[in-house]
Amino acid sequence: MQFTATLLAVYVEATSTRGVLVVRNTSGELEHLRTDRGDIDAGRAMIERARSLVGHRLRVYRLNEQVASNAQRQVHTVVHLTDHGPDTEPIHENSAKENVLAAAEGDKDAARRAWLDAGLSETGSVSARQLADALSHLPTGDAP
């Protein structure tokens, strides 16, 4: 499957060493995509490439893979990224705040702190880079 999205965050899961890419799809929703394990060359290369593309609009190529321990559950694994340059379209403040709240898993205090720590105004649109900065102020539970 392939789709267009803006990359907002990249972090590494401590338990699996897989990279997790947080992307904002064209409908404005956040999706979490995983890379191969970071302790193998392909996974490490994808994580490094993704980190250099935060705030960029990308064509994302992903596979839907079943989880070995639960055949009913699938994970989305990114296999290729095509860079279309920095995303310059403004993101409406309500949509951006909803994204931060979703990334904070509904924790309103954490979302508000991340928004303010990123130095964002209470009103007005934000850029993809500013939204990415707000997400970087949220705890991920794993190493950023």
Q: What is the pLDDT of residues 79-130, one digit of tens each?
A: 999 999 999 999 999 999 999 999 999 999 999 999 999 999 989 999 999 9
Ordered by start, the domain boundaries in the chain are 2-86, 93-136
> Can you read off the two tokens belonging to residue 122?
């209470």
| pTM for the whole structure | 0.87
Confidence of residue 144 (pLDDT cuts 50, 70, 90): very low
CATH hierarchy code of domain 2-86: 2.40.50
Q: Count CB-CB contacts under 10 A for residue 30.
A: 18
Q: Check residue 136 and give its pLDDT.
A: 94
| DSSP string computed for 2-57 | EEEEEEEEEEE-TTT-EEEEEEEETTS-EEEEEEEETTSHHHHHHHHHHHTTTTEE
Comparing 11-20, 28-37, 63-72, which segment has the lowest mean pLDDT? 63-72
